[in-house]
Amino acid sequence: MMLLLALAMSGLSSVPQDAVRLDDVRVVSARSDVEFCQPVGGVDASSGWNSEDRLTTILREHAAKLGANAILITSINHGFLLRGWASAFVCSNDSAASKQAADKAAADQANKAILCDSGADCEFRWSRVTLWLQDHCTWKFRSITEMLISTEGPMDTERPAFEATKMPNGDGKTYRISLRVLCGAPPTNADSACSDLGKTKLRADFTDFVTKRGSQ
């Protein structure tokens, strides 16, 4: 009897004091969902039920014991036993607020007009467009003119293709530069460059790069 009590006490003491309830552990679908959360480690589990729902529940249980309230499943192996791995995170209200602020900032930047003055200013910014596309596109260039730069693709893939244009504003002095992100297949996950957030982040990064003066 004393031995059983000692074992029970030992099992209880191994659970961290900051453990959370299973119902408080959510499963996120994208790395960006936990961008501002605190990582607390990895968890893994096996299930003989061959049920992903059961496996996910076990992963959440392990994460709860670490004090985590969110997991991102990184891999599931379908074999004789279903086995899965996940990263565990502690996300606070501040984390959610920071993500919302970052997403809004990206959207604001993506929607910012890129304007340039005719002549050297537009030539410089248009050269920045070419540099950005070289760094961010896996497709070859299809067309490069003073008004349009387009790439091949996207075919039926999640590899984004791009189309950048430089159009006159109608005042005879300034031009507007814009970027289209083209995908040939729907996004398979929320972290895909072809997701709405992925496209927004690409356009935001494009705007930031093209509008920086750098050195001429």
Which tens digits make up the pLDDT trace of 152-186?
A: 999 999 999 999 999 999 888 999 999 999 999 99
Residue-by-residue DSSP string for 82-107: EEEEEEEEE--HHHHHHHHHHHHHHH
Q: Is the pLDDT of residue 195 over 90?
A: yes
What local confidence, expressed as pLDDT, does residue 215 receive? 42
Q: Which CATH superfamily is domain 107-211 in?
A: Kinase associated domain 1, KA1 (3.30.310.80)
Q: According to CATH, where is 3.30.310.80 located in the chain?
A: 107-211
Phi then psi dihedrals of residue 80, to 5 deg:
-60, -40
State which CATH number among 3.40.718.10, 3.40.50.620, 3.60.15.10, 3.30.110.70 fits the domain covering 2-94: 3.30.110.70
Which tens digits make up the pLDDT trace of 53-79?
A: 999 999 999 999 999 999 999 999 987
